[in-house]
Amino acid sequence: MEGFFKYIGKSVEKIDALALATGQPLFTDDMEIKNALQIKSLYSPYAHAIIEDIEEEEALKIPGVKLILSYKNTPQYLHTTAGQGWPEPSPYDTCMFNRKVRYVGDRVLTVAAETEEIATEALKHIKVNYKILPAVFDPEEAMKEGAPVIHDEEGISGVYDARRNLVAHIEVKTGDIEKGFRESDVVVEDTFETHYAQHCPIEPHVTITYLDEYGRLVIRTSTQVPFHVRRIVSQVTGIPLKDIRVIKPRIGGGFGVKQEIILEEICAYTTYLTGRPARYLYSREEEFISSRTRHPMKIKVKIGAKKDGTFNAIKMYALSNTGAYGTHGLTVASNTGSKTLPLYNKAENVEFIADVVYTNLPVAGAYRGYGATQGYAALEQVVDEVAEKLGISPIEIRKKNHIRSGETSPIFRALGEGREGVTQYIQSESLDRLIEAGAKEISWSENRRKKTGKQSKVRGIGMAMLMQGSGIPAVDMGAATIKLNEDGSFNILYGGTDIGTGLDTVVAQIVGETLGTSPDKVIVYAADTDITPFDKGAYASSGTFVSGGAVYNAALKLREQVFEYAREKFNEFDTKEFLIEDGEVISKRSGRRISLSEIAYETFYVRKHQQLMATASFISQSSPPPFAVHFVEIEVDTETGQITPIKYVAAVDCGIPINPELVKGQIIGAIVNGIGYALTEEFEFGKSGKMVNPNFLYYRIPSSRDIPEIVPIIIETYEPTGAYGAKSVAEVNINGPIPAIGNALYNATGIRIHKTPYTPEKVLKALKDNINK
Amino acid sequence: MKAHFTINGEKKEFEFSEGEVLLDLLRRNGYTEVKGNCYLGTCGACTVLIGGIPRASCVTLAAQVVGQEILTVKGIGSIKHPHPIQKAFAEKGAVQCGFCTPGAVLTAYALLKNNPSPTVEDIKIALDGNLCRCTGYIQQIEAIKYAIELIKGGK
C-alpha cells in the first residue's frame, strides 16, 4: 500500500512515547492526591470456609484507622467482576465482599487508614473466625457427585449447574461426528493440559477515588474498561451512575487482567462512605494471589483424516478450570472452540464440547488469547500427529485443510462468545503465503532435525497455524467524536482504551488520512466517561477494528461537513471531485481550494456559526480473523532438559498494518509472553491451595536474556470491513509458542509433553520414559 | 531523620524514616518517574542511577545513599530536550505501556556511559534486570543500537 496512503501503513511515532520515556506523571498513581486514605486488604488463608465472625474492635481503636469494610457492612449485590458488555455472559456469583471465602487469596475485608503503615498494622489486629469447609482443587473431582459445592448461595444466576460446580456446559455439533470418524482413514486422539499463569503487567492494579467539587465520585483507575467500570461500580455500590466519573490515564499494561473490576468498587465505596479520597494499590504478591489468571484447561482433540490428508472430522473437548468465581468462564471456553476450529473448515463433521468448572483455586479471567491459546496448544500438536501418521509434511497438511477467502465455517454461526455466533465469510486471508514466507525464513526442510557440535544438544523445528478475531461481533460498540479547531487541527474524543498498545496513535493516523491532516495535528483524548462517548474498552482484539472503526466513521461524517462547507463557498453543485489533503479542501473540477483553518475560522466567527464536529459509532456484524503461522527452532539439552528457543519466525496477516512498528511490537510482545508461558511461568500450589511463588524470583517471566532471535513477517491483505483494511493483531500471536515449541521438541527428540510448561524436569522425565519404552 | 541527597543535579534535603527505601522517599517527594512496587528488586521499574550505577531503589535504603548523586530519568532529558536514548526509545517502538521505560532508559544510559559500543549480547545482559511485559525486548535493543548512532552522530 506504499504510496497509496499518506499516513496509513507508516510507522508514525507513538504519540505518548516521548512523554513516557521522559517520565511524565501519566499513570494512575502518579497523581498527587492529598489526604487520601490508604486501603489494605486481608485475604483468606483457607481455600474454602465460612466467615463466622470478624473481630475488628481492636483495629478500629488504632489511631488513623477510618473504615473497615467486609460482608458485614457492604451491599450484598451479586454481580460479576468481568468487565464485559451488558448483560454480561459471566455468572453473577460474587459480592463486593462474600461471607464465604472460596480460595486462598479471596478477599475478606479491607482497612482504610491515614497511612499504608497504619492500615497494614491494623490488619494484624483483626481476628477472623472461620468455619473451614472441605475444598476441591481438581476440576474433574469438582464435577463429581458429593464434591464440595463451592457456590451454594441464594440468588446466583448464570451458572449452568451449581450443585455440580458446573459454571457452563457448551455443546456444538455440525455434521455427523461418529460417521466422520468411521469414514476416516486415520484417527488420532490426544490430550493436553495447560496451566495457571498470570498476566504480570509491570504496573499492578491501582485505583484512586475522590469526590469532585460537586460531590461527584471520580475514579481514576488502571483499567481496560472505563465504561464498564462506571456501570459495574454503580451496580455493586448502589451509587447512581450519573454521579460516577471514570478517568483512564496511561495504563501500565493489561493483557486482560485489567478487564476485571476488582479494586474500583471498594475504593469508590470507601470514598463514598468517608467523603475522603482513597488509594488502593495492589502489590506484586496480591497481583498473583488475588487478581486474575489464565484458565487452565485439559483439552482432548480427535481428528479423523483421509489418506490424502483432508480432515473429515474434528472433535474437541475442553475442561476449563475457572477457579473460585466464574468470571469469563463461559466465554473463554467458547473461544477455545470458536477461535480454533474454523481454521480447519475442510472437516464437515465437527463437535465441540466444553465444561467450565469451579474449584477452590485462584480466579481465572480474561488473558490475551482468551481460550484460543489453550485450544491451539492441543489442536496444533494433534495436527502434527495426524501428519506424521499419514506421512505428510506438517506444512502440507495445513495447506490442505485451512480456511480460505470466500469460505466460511459452520462454527462461526454455531458458537459465539457465550451464545450463538454470527455467520461470516472470510474476506481477507493469505495463509499459504504466510506458510511459505515463514518456512523460508526458518529454513524449513523435511529433514530439519539437527545435531549440534555437542553430543547432548539437539535441534528441531516446529510450526503452528493460528487465528483469532477482531472484536465481538454484533455485541461490542465503540463511539467517537471529532471536532475541527481554528488551526486546522482536530480533537478526537473517544472511549477507546489505549493500555499501551498504541491505539491512540492508530486513531490519529486514521483521522489524519481521512481528513487530510498530519497525525501530529490530531489531539487524542481518550476514555473519560464524563467527556468521551462510550466504548466497550480494550479487549477481544477490538482496538483498531472497533474503536478505530468508530473514529473512521466519525472522520467520514466530519469530512462530509467540511466538504459541504467548501461546496457552498466554491459555489459548486456537488462534492464529487473534492479532495482533502495537506490541510486543504481542493475542488479538482474548479481548482479552488480552502484550508481547514480558514473553514474553522469562518464557521466559528463569520458565517454559519457552528462547530464542525461529528460523532459516530461502530459495530461489526463479523469478527474478521487475523491469521498467523509460527515457526520456531529450538535446542534441547538432553542432559539438563533445558529447551532454548534459537529463532522464532511469525508470519502474520492483520490486514493492512496501520502502523507497522506498533504491529511489530504487538507480534513480538505476544510471542515473548507466550514463550514464558510455554517454558517457565507457572503457579505452584501448596497442599492448602495456596499459590506459593507470588513474585518474580520464583515466577519467571522472560527477561532480555531469555529471548531468541525473533523475526516478524507482516504480509498485507485488505479486510474490507475494517477501517483502511485493518484487522486485529493484539492476541493472535500469543497462541503460537506452546504448540510450535511442542512440535519442535517432538521433531528434535521424539518426545511429546502433554502438560505445560515444558520445564527441564518434564523434558528429562519424558526423555527417560522414551528410552524405556 | 533528615539528610541531603543530590537528585538530578539538585541538592535536596528530605526527611525519612530509618527503614524507608529510596523508591518510597522519591515518589513521596514527587519523583513519580520512578516506578515499580515489587520491593524485591526483581522488576527493575524502580531503577535509578546512584553514582552512575543502576540500582533498584525499592531495595535500597534511603539511609544508605545519603549525600550521593541520584539520577532519575528526568535527570537525563525532557520532552523538549530528550536524551538520544529517550528519543530512540520513542522512535523505534520501544515504548508500549511505558511503565518499565524509565528504568530501562536509565540502564541503557549507564551501559553506554561505560561502554559506548556494546554488542547485542552486552545490551541483553544490561537489560536483564529490567522486566518488560509489552515489547518482548527486541525493539528496546534496536532502540539502544539506534541511540548509539545518534550519540556518535552528535544528535
pLDDT tens digit sequence for A593-604: 999 999 999 999
Q: Chain A window 144-203: which residues touch B at a Cβ cutoff of 8 Å?
A: 199-203
Q: Do B57 and B98 lie in a common domain?
A: no
Cell 477455545 appears where? A336
Please provide the size of chain B in residues: 155
Q: Which residues of B touch A16 (CB under 8 A)?
A: 95, 98
Domain end (from B54, B73, B92): B73
Rounded mean pLDDT, A54-66? 98
CA–centroid distance for A213 within its chain: 36
CB contact under 8 A, A199 and B133: yes
CB contact under 8 A, B133 and A664: no
| Contact B41/A at CB under 8 A | no
3-state secondary structure at position A376: helix
| Contact B54/A at CB under 8 A | no
CB contact under 8 A, B134 and A500: yes
Q: Do B30 and B50 lie in a common domain?
A: yes
Tell me the C-alpha distance between A650 and A732, whole Å.
11
Specify the pLDDT at position A2: 46
Q: Specify the number of domains making up chain B.
A: 2
Specify the pLDDT at position A453: 79
Query: Searching chain A, which residue's CA lies closest to the CA of residue B75?
Result: A22
Specify the pLDDT at position A507: 98
Q: Do B60 and B96 lie in a common domain?
A: no
Mean of all residue pLDDT scores within chain B: 97
Cell 534441547 appears where? A636
Tell me the C-alpha distance between A513 and A6, whole Å.
6
Residue A162 CB coordination number (10 Å): 19
Question: Is residue A390 pLDDT above 80, yes or no?
Answer: yes
Residue B78 lies in a domain: no
Among candidates A714, A712, A716, A713, which has minimal Cα distance to A655?
A716
3-state secondary structure at position A532: coil
User: How does pLDDT run across A90-99, given as a tens digit for each residue?
Assistant: 999 999 999 9
3-state secondary structure at position B81: coil
Tell me the C-alpha distance between A583 and A586, whole Å.
10
Q: Chain A window 623-662: which residues touch B at a Cβ cutoff of 8 Å?
A: 661-662
CA distance B81 to chain A (A): 10
CB contact under 8 A, B79 and A18: yes
Q: Do B34 and B69 lie in a common domain?
A: yes
| Residue B74 φ then ψ, to 5° | -70, -20
| Contact B107/A at CB under 8 A | no
What's the CA angle centered on A360, arms A354 and A365, to 5 degrees? 55
The cell for A744 is: 519442535
* Candidates B96, B127, B138; nearest CB to A501: B96
Low-confidence ranges of chain B (pLDDT < 50): none
Q: Do B65 and B91 lie in a common domain?
A: no
**Which domain covers residue B12, as residue numbers?**
2-73
Q: Which residues of A touch B72 (CB under 8 A)?
A: 23
**Alpha helices, H only, B9-131:** 22-28, 84-91, 101-114, 120-127
CB contact under 8 A, B30 and A661: no
Residue percentage of chain A with pLDDT more than 90: 97
Running DSSP on this structure, what letter comes out for residue B21?
B
* Candidates A18, A200, A251; nearest CB to B86: A18
Please report, as a single letter, which amino acid is at residue B143. A
CA distance A22 to chain B (A): 6
Rounded mean pLDDT, A508-523? 98
CA distance B67 to chain A (A): 24
The cell for A469 is: 478475531
Domain end (from B47, B73, B99): B73
Model confidence, pTM: 0.98
Q: Which residues of A touch B139 (CB under 8 A)?
A: 661, 664-665, 668
Specify the pLDDT at position A773: 75
CB contact under 8 A, A672 and B74: no
Specify the pLDDT at position A419: 80
How far is the CA of A178 from the CAs of A181, A380, A389, B70, in angstroms? 5, 22, 20, 70
Among candidates A358, A331, A363, A126, which has minimal Cα distance to A262?
A363
Residue B79 lies in a domain: no
Tell me the C-alpha distance between A581 and A517, whole Å.
7
Specify the pLDDT at position A771: 87
Specify the pLDDT at position B155: 65
User: How does pLDDT run across A447-488, given as a tens digit for each residue?
Assistant: 888 888 788 999 999 999 999 999 999 999 999 999 999 999
pLDDT interval class at A505 (50, 70, 90): very high
Residue percentage of chain A with pLDDT more than 70: 100
Q: Do B59 and B97 lie in a common domain?
A: no
pLDDT interval class at A417 (50, 70, 90): confident
How far is the CA of A16 from the CAs of A429, A660, A664, B132, B145, in angstroms? 32, 17, 17, 17, 21
Domain end (from B73, B105, B128): B73
| CB neighbour burial string for A576-605, b if at least 16 within 10 angstroms, e if fewer | eebebeebbbbbeeeeeebebbbbbebbbe
User: How does pLDDT run across A601-654, given as a tens digit for each residue?
Assistant: 999 999 999 999 999 999 999 999 999 999 999 999 999 999 999 999 999 999
Cell 459495530 appears where? A619
Q: Which residues of B touch A665 (CB under 8 A)?
A: 93, 96, 134-136, 139
Please provide the size of chain A in residues: 773
Q: Which residues of A touch B34 (CB under 8 A)?
A: 23
Q: Do B95 and B48 lie in a common domain?
A: no
Q: Do B91 and B139 lie in a common domain?
A: yes
What's the CA angle centered on A204, arms A127 and B57, to 5 degrees? 95
CB contact under 8 A, A21 and B32: no
Mean of all residue pLDDT scores within chain A: 97
| Residue A546 φ then ψ, to 5° | -90, -55
| CB neighbour burial string for A352-361, b if at least 16 within 10 angstroms, e if fewer | bbbbbbbbbb
Q: Do B38 and B62 lie in a common domain?
A: yes
Rounded mean pLDDT, A708-714? 98
CA distance A499 to chain B (A): 6
Which domain CATH number covers B131? 1.10.150.120
User: How does pLDDT run across B14-36, given as a tens digit for each residue?
Assistant: 999 999 999 999 999 999 999 98
Residue B104 lies in a domain: yes
CA distance A664 to chain B (A): 8
Q: Do B122 and B144 lie in a common domain?
A: yes
Query: Searching chain A, which residue's CA lies closest to the CA of residue B78?
Result: A22
* Candidates A14, A251, A710; nearest CB to B136: A710
Question: Is residue A1 pLDDT above 50, yes or no?
Answer: no
Tell me the C-alpha distance between A303 and A680, whole Å.
30
Q: Chain B window 8-37: which residues touch A at a Cβ cutoff of 8 Å?
A: 30, 32-37
Q: Do B112 and B52 lie in a common domain?
A: no
Tell me the C-alpha distance between A75 and A68, whole Å.
14
Running DSSP on this structure, what letter comes out for residue A602?
I
The cell for B5 is: 541527597
Which domain CATH number covers B68? 3.10.20.30
What's the CA angle centered on A508, arms A504 and A514, to 5 degrees? 145
Contact A236, A83 (CB under 8 A): no
Among candidates A466, A414, A413, A418, which has minimal Cα distance to A622?
A413
Q: Do B47 and B13 lie in a common domain?
A: yes
CA distance B44 to chain A (A): 9
| CB neighbour burial string for A112-130, b if at least 16 within 10 angstroms, e if fewer | bbbeeebbebbbebbebeb
Tell me the C-alpha distance between A510 and A618, whole Å.
14
How far is the CA of B143 from the CAs of A19, A707, B86, in angstroms? 16, 16, 9
| Contact A205/B at CB under 8 A | no
Query: Searching chain B, which residue's CA lies closest to the CA of residue A710?
Result: B138
* Candidates B37, B101, B131; nearest CB to A20: B101
pLDDT interval class at A518 (50, 70, 90): very high
H or E segment at A235?
helix A226-237
